[in-house]
Amino acid sequence: MKLYFPKRRLIHFLFIFPILLSFVATFLDASKVPIKFDSFHGYTGTVNYLKAVAQAYPNLTELMEIGKSTLGKPIYVLVITNMKTGIALDTLIPLRHSRNEVKNVPPMKRHQGKPGQWICGATHGNEFTGTEVCLYIIDKLLTGYENDSEIRRLLDEKVFYICPIVNPDGVYNSVEAGMFQRSNVMLRDDDGDGRVNEDGPDDLNRDGYITQFRYKDPKGDYVIDDVDSRLMIRLQPGEKTDKQRYSVIQEDLDNDKDGQRGEDPVNGIDLNRNFPEGWFRADGFPGGQGDYPTSAPEVQALAEFFTNYRNILMAQFFHTSGGFTYRPMGSSPDTAVHRKDVAVYDFILGKKYLEIIGEPVPEPWQNPEEMEKFKTALRGRTRNRYALDRGYEFPRGWRVSYNENDDRPYGYGLQADWIYRQYGAYSVTTELWNPLRDLPDFPEIREDAPRIEIQRALLRYQDEKYGGQLFLPWKKFSHPELGEGEIGGWIPIYSGNNAYPGEPLLNVCEKHWQFELFRAKLLPEVVINDVKTKILYLSDNPSSAQVDLKENQAIIKKGQPKERFIVLEIKVIIENKGQLPTHVARGANLPLNREDVVWLLGDRDKIKYLVGSVWQRLGVLEGQMKIPVPPSQIETGQETSQAPRASQPFLPVQPRLRPEIQAVEAQTVKVLSPSSREVTWVIAIEGETPIKVVVTSQKGGTKVKDISF
Amino acid sequence: MIKMKRLNMKKGMNETLLKNIFSGLLILCLLLPLAGQKKYQSSPGGYHGELDFPISWKRYYSYAEWTKIMHDMAKQYSQLADIQSIGKSRMGRDMFLLTISNKSSGKPDDKPAMWVDGAIHGNEVNGITCSLYLAWYLLTRYDYDPYVHDLVNRYTFYILPGFNVDANDSYVTWPNTSNNPRKPYRPEDDDGDGLYDEDQTEDVDGDGELSMMYIEDPKGDFKLSSDGRRFVRVTEPNDPSRRFRFLGPEGFDNDGDGRINEDDIGGPDPNRNFPADWNLQQGNPYPLSEPETRNVYEFWLRHPNILASFHYHNTGRLIMFAPPPRIQTSLTPEQRQQRQQQFQQRLAELKQTNKYAQLFDIEVPAEYQEDLRVQTEIVTMGARILKNYRPTPSGRVGQAQAASYEMFGRYAYLIELWGTPDFDADENGDGRVSDEEFLKWIDIELTGEGWINPHKVRHPDYGEIWIGGTAKKHITRTPPARYMEEEALRNTHFVLYCVSQFPRVEIDEIKITPATSNLFWIDVTVKNERAYPTSSDRSIQLGKAIKDKLIFNCSSNITLIELPAALSAIDLTDRTTFVPIAKGKEVEFRLKGHDSLIYRYLIKIDGEEGWVEVKVISKNGGKDSKRLNIKAG
């Protein structure tokens, strides 16, 4: 076989393509890669878009493959930042005499020296509204860089890590394959017959969707709705009826002829129950899903990414639906969240979120200083002891998923819990989309209205606004195993928990872009504010010397002339001029995290550090924003018996520094204010060497400044 | 090597033939069906195949060498051994695993199996020797040793000599102290300066060993010993000797921050990285985050046939077993003291007849009693086989053996190999080895090998310093190579003992007694004479246990009378002994270690003759069946 390789064409293409791109870019000032939200992108569309923007914006993006799904589909993270700014710390500090038999440390990336924000969607395959919001945010950031000075500044100083699809197989099966799959795919023999995934649902009428099959069945527990005959009403157990009874199942066949339908589908596990925090139950047995925490390749990809990118302080895990946000924790009571973080979450982030979605902000959040008053007012009005301790119950739009009234975990092994408690970022899970609130011109229906009432309204809505395209009318079908019946129902992707494409989806996107933008602007930003140098001593014709000390007589012999000798005092003021601190409340104590650090660097053969060492620790720099921390009666970290075992006990990290070095730092690092430090060195320089100060904060960024004197 | 093998085969055959002729026809007839097993030795004085695969056990092997040995084993003993890579390490090395089992007696993955891993900690490479030795022992002795032959036919051994292969290879190949490198090669910022693994140990004087550095300092705490071979602490404040300050292990200040070796290679402790009782502080960044630990765990998941596991470490000569969960009791000090006394008394009583007897002062819930019992029994034998090893319950936090037990229900052992050479070096019999005794041991038993004398060196960061006054690499944690083989042999015996105690279900007897007219009682006794139960308490609690089954069958003229499951008196005149009546043709149960159960059936016989047959099937304990022919006389 002869291989055809279009060499010449490729070269042409390579030459022409960039020219073509810049040409297109000049004329399409809005976006080099236009995007529309009148349909769902699915896995294929999303990947195509990511590749296109990565190619169109090489200076603003990096497309990373952070892992692969069970079926081998890449999981992508699009890094968005000005690729020309940011400092890789390892390039500034030369190493000497290192062992060279092992090279296990990859070079750092420049964006690792910037404060980061993580945004991801579709951890659950059927919750791809989050994917669309991610794509919307990508578009806003990239187009905004050109024409919005605020976004330009944001991308110069900060970095976004956007992972539109955490669960590629689930999204592909939900959007492209017409199924509706929350979990990932696992190659697992569910029914123990020795075969793997041999009996899943089947597209009986080959219309590209797995919808419903209904058939008359005297034992069925469905009847046709009187109001809208397209809808099926499920009877209560034991409920009697005179109407024709139906059974309703997924479109499905007994593929392996074992008498059961759909008993070994491709479905794997719920990825949002496979993270390490609170995966085990209190008795030591597994509570979460999967064989062990991070057993799913998709979850491990995330875990590995966060392990290597420690610069993220804000994290969003988009899910659907409900139109509200869960802040941690779900597996442990609110006592697992430090009071200071509670304040950031509720009074700062939660307040803004409620404003964006148009819901009232609780009074205590507006006056947290008067929390004792609200606590007193709440006494006797609730049995929720965590609410009594905080001073407020959660509003509908911003809450924890932990069941506070019954003191029961919502689930085990949740991703947002894990990021907050084991990584140290302000993570949230926003449940996007609430049709009752997000559909324009939708009739007023209460949240707790019967399901059928909402279904009727939605069906009417799609009749009017979408020409009935979201629901497949029932059509006769003869099921090879069950006989005559009908196939029809909601098209899975429109069946309720995803925003309807077009205007409703755009509304959801815009609100949550606003929320993420607000959060990004809160990120810390550590800067070198001021450098003062003072020459304490200067000698232009020094020489080497030898001292001969005998009894009380010293004889000094001068030797070879040496280079210029300076004793220099350096005072550097470092400040976090961002809004939030450089770590969550206990973030610096978490393994793999560290305090903010400042280095003074020059040619090490020419510098002697007389006061202050090469690098000094600054502690955690607070931000400019005042965080009103209310007191708590319940001891922080106290767990209830029903809560899963806290896998992270928040033990302080043992400082590796020798005590005498810590003592020195106490003198050379002066706390000017919670957000700023003055660091002093006295160094002796022999000869000429450039000197620079490098401040490096894990989540507050790395900055460098040359010192002249 | 091939030539040698043929020669020995011939020799073995001749010996056996001669013996058979003299032993008479009967024995010959018995042995004939066992073709290919003619090399069996009946006395410990015979040849057991050692030279069929010649290998030196008096040295350490690098990754390239030990994996070549494994490949050679798999090639030479292709009927008994397979080699596979269970995945790659962080630095891309294959983690090679040997599967040893007689392939013609069943698929290795279907047989009850023992897992053995060598060195999860990079520096503990004598575990590689021990597990490699086990493989070699099984393969070379298979044809010569009926004990080994039987175990290799019945069971499977999964042997992973190098676990933390990157660090294992570095430890053997490059200059290192006895303590590093220990962890997998995930970059980590130990000192919190923002750089990763940037300040490691280095062989400053280039002598191929990594010793300790001292610098002359009039205020230092150390001086040279009188023989000039060690640095010793100054005890007299006015001691006029030249003083030294201790700097640390050999190394340079790589990042120029005034500290040495403060950010050595590697991330988390791999033996805190397993899921059971995991916590972030010790097992970070997340459970099974390291390719090495994950590869092993994924293999465990794919191999439910593994019944027990061994994990080699050093040092301290300990037999640690993964303990069952404990009951937290709140005792008053008096109660505790009383309990302690009772415990000591019981142990003393046991020790009167067996000096290796063990008892563990831990309280476990009722549903875990069998696990504690069998572990006590096994490690008691371990103490005997390994001699100066001490059995004790192991730790749990994220440890491999704890995961093996707690997540899978396998009986798991952590062996701490080697320790102080008191058996050779303790001259004054105080049970300890003083510095002087240690040096003398190096001079006499190690004929002078193994010590680094203090010597002057120029250091780029410190100027003139002294290096030395320590033992070389394979002295303290990994034993001098000449000591390895006996320890490997004893450890192999302990592993084999454990495997020999894997459950084996048997039908002991079928008894028939008349009930009335043509009704008869059939009493079937099933037993497991081995120490291990057919499933562990933990596997039952995990819901992973598969019960043993007794299946009743009979000729068409015999009817099994269905009776309710209840206890029946075995002898109507004796109301103290009862047996359970088997309900239906299939009953399920678990046989504990050294356990037997009787099940009773009531049958009706029509006609003159017939038969009943019972079959016992156990996932871990194998199968057995017995038939009873019944005839009217």
Could you tell me which residues come within 8 angstroms of residue A184 by beta carbon, excluding any fewer than 6 positions away? A69, A70, A125, A167, A169, A170, A268, A269, A271, A296, A297, A298
Residues A311 and A414 in one domain: yes
Residue A96, number of CB atoms within 10 A of its CB: 14
CA distance A387 to A139: 40
pLDDT cut 70: percent of chain A above it: 91
Q: How far A378 CA sits from the closest chain B CA (Å)?
A: 37
For B384-417, the pLDDT digits (tens) are: 999 999 999 999 999 999 999 999 999 999 999 9
A95 in contact with B at a CB cutoff of 8 Å? Answer: yes
Quick one: average pLDDT of B20-33?
A: 46
Q: Do residues A63 and A119 share a domain?
A: yes
Tell me which residues of chain A, numbers 281 to 310, contact chain B at a CB-CB cutoff of 8 Å: 284-285, 291-295, 303-304, 306-307
A708, pLDDT greater than 80: yes
- Say yes or no: A147 and A219 in one domain: no
Whole-number pLDDT of residue B240: 93
CB pairs under 8 A between A and B: 140
Distances (CA, A) of B112 to A442, A519, B155, B304, B309: 64, 56, 5, 9, 12
Band the pLDDT of B235: cuts 50, 70, 90.
very high
A52 and A112 part of one domain: yes
* pLDDT value of residue B597: 94
Domain B505-631 in this protein, CATH class:
mainly beta
What is the sign of the dihedral through the CA atoms of B159, B164, B165 and B170? negative
Q: What is the pLDDT of residue A305?
A: 98
Same domain, A141 and A240: no
User: Do A275 and A130 have their domain in common?
Assistant: yes
Q: Residue A656: pLDDT above 50?
A: no
Q: Is residue A441 part of a domain?
A: no
Does residue B258 come out as left (phi exceeding 0), alpha (psi in the -120 to 50 range) or beta? left
**Cα(A499)–Cα(A40) distance, integer angstroms:** 10
From its phi and psi, is residue B115 left (phi > 0), alpha (psi between -120 and 50) or beta?
beta
Number of other CB atoms surrounding residue B363 within 10 Å: 13
- A704 interface with B at CB cutoff 8 Å: no
Question: Which DSSP string do the residues of B370-414 spell out, in sequence order?
Answer: HHHHHHHHHHHHHHHHHSS-EEEE---TT-HHHHHHHHH--EEEE
Q: Quote the pLDDT of residue A302.
A: 98
State mean pLDDT over A44-50: 98
All residues of chain B having their beta carbon less than 8 Å from the beta carbon of residue A303 are 285-286, 289
Q: Chain A residue closest to B284 (CA)? A: A591
Q: Do A615 and B193 touch (CB under 8 A)?
A: yes
Label residue B572 by pLDDT band (50, 70, 90). Answer: low
The verdict on A178 and A255 lying in the same domain is no
**Quick check: B603 and B554 in contact, CB under 8 A?**
yes
So what's the pLDDT on residue A489?
A: 97
Nearest-by-Cβ selection for A294 from B265, B287, B301:
B287
Q: Which residue has the tokens 């937290």?
A: B328
Find the CB nearest A656 among B166, B191, B195: B191
Q: Which of A120-124, A369-373, A631-635, B408-412 has the lowest mean pLDDT?
A: A631-635
Name the average pLDDT for chain A.
91
**DSSP letters spanning A292-337:** STT-SHHHHHHHHHHHH---EEEEEE-EESSSEEEPS-SSS-GGGS
Residue B5 pLDDT: 40
pLDDT at A10 over 90: no
Instruction: Give the model's pLDDT for residue A633.
Output: 58
Q: A224 and A257: one domain?
A: yes
Residue A660 pLDDT: 59
Residue B362 has pLDDT above 70, yes or no: yes
Looking at the fold, whether A221 and A328 belong to one and the same domain comes out as no
A390 assigned to some structural domain: no
Instruction: Please state the ipTM of this predicted complex.
Output: 0.92
Query: Please, which residues 633-692 of chain A have a Cβ atom closer than 8 Å to chain B?
Result: 647-649, 651, 653, 655-657
Establish if A457 belongs to a structural domain.
no
The answer to whether residue A673 sits within a structural domain is: yes
Q: How far apart, in whole angstroms, are the C-alpha atoms of residue B481 and residue A311? A: 47
Q: How far is A426 from chain B (nearest CA, A)?
A: 18
Contact indicator for A60, A84 with CB cutoff of 8 Å: no
Q: Are residues A285 and A316 both part of a single domain?
A: yes
Asked if A365 and A344 touch (Cβ cutoff 8 Å), the reply is no
Which residues of chain A from 117 to 176 reach within 8 Å of chain B, CB to CB? none
Q: Reply yes or no on whether the pLDDT at A664 is more than 90.
A: no
Given B194, B198, B277, which is nearest A95 (Cβ)?
B198
Chain A residues lying within 8 Å of B284, measured CB to CB: 591-592
Write the pLDDT tens digit of every residue in B339-359: 999 999 999 999 999 999 999
CATH number at residue A162: 3.40.630.10
Q: Which of B172, B193, B278 to mutate to test the interface with A (most CBs of A within 10 A)?
A: B193
For residue A192, being part of any structural domain is answered with no
B619 CA to chain A: closest CA distance, Å? 16
Span A287-293, average pLDDT: 97
Nearest Cα residue to A334 out of A275, A382, A374, A394: A394
Mean pLDDT along residues A115-130 = 98
Across A315-338, average pLDDT: 95
Structure confidence at residue A659 as a pLDDT band (50, 70, 90): low
**pLDDT tens track for A348-363:** 999 999 999 999 999 9
Q: Which of B200, B262, B279 sits opposite A99 (nearest CB)?
A: B200
| A302 and A259 within one domain | no
The percentage of chain A sitting over the pLDDT mark of 90, rounded to a whole number, equals 83
A102 in a domain, yes or no?
A: no
Q: What is the DSSP string of A349-405?
A: IIHHHHHHHT-PPPHHHH-GGGHHHHHHHHTTT---HHHHHHT-PPPTTEE-SSBTT
Whole-number pLDDT of residue B577: 75
Q: Do B195 and A597 touch (CB under 8 A)?
A: no
E strands, B46-180, in order: 81-88, 94-100, 113-119, 156-162
Question: Predicted confidence band at B138 (pLDDT cuts at 50, 70, 90)?
Answer: very high
Indicate if the pLDDT at residue B9 is higher than 50. Answer: no
Put simply, the answer to whether B406 touches A284 (Cβ < 8 Å) is yes
Better-scored residue on pLDDT, B104 or B12:
B104
Q: Does residue A489 belong to any structural domain of this protein? A: yes
Is position A274 within any domain? yes
**Element housing A415 (H / E):** helix A415-418
Closest CB from A98, A422, A595 relative to B280: A422
Write out the residue range of the structural domain in which residue A559 sits: 526-707
What does the alpha-carbon distance between residue B252 and residue A98 come to, in Å, rounded to a whole number? Answer: 8
Q: Which tens digits make up the pLDDT trace of A477-516?
A: 999 999 999 999 999 999 989 999 999 999 999 999 999 9
Superfamily per CATH, domain B48-185+273-322+394-419+478-501: Zn peptidases (3.40.630.10)
- Establish whether the linkage from the previous residue to A131 is cis, with ω within 30° of 0: no
Q: Are residues A638 and A573 in the same domain?
A: yes
A614 contacts in chain B (CB < 8 Å): 255-258
Tell me which chain A residues have a C-beta less than 8 angstroms from the C-beta of B279.
647-649
Give me the number of domains chain A comprises: 3
pLDDT higher than threshold 50 for residue A638: no
pLDDT of residue B545: 96
Q: Look at residue B328 in the predicted model and tell me its pLDDT.
A: 81
Question: Which of A25-29, A99-103, A688-692, B317-321 has the least mean pLDDT?
Answer: A25-29
| Region of poorest pLDDT, from A533-547, A598-612, B96-110 | A533-547
Average pLDDT score over residue span A278-303? 95
Burial class (CB in 10 A: 0-12, 13-18, 19+), B238: exposed
Q: Could you give the percent of chain B with pLDDT greater than 70?
A: 94
Q: How is residue B433 written in tokens?
A: 């080895």
Residue B400 contacts residue B117 (beta carbons within 8 Å): yes
Domain ranges of chain B: 1-45, 48-185+273-322+394-419+478-501, 187-265+431-475, 505-631
Query: Which is it for strands B306-314 and B113-119: parallel, antiparallel or unpaired?
Result: parallel
Predicted confidence band at B186 (pLDDT cuts at 50, 70, 90)?
very high
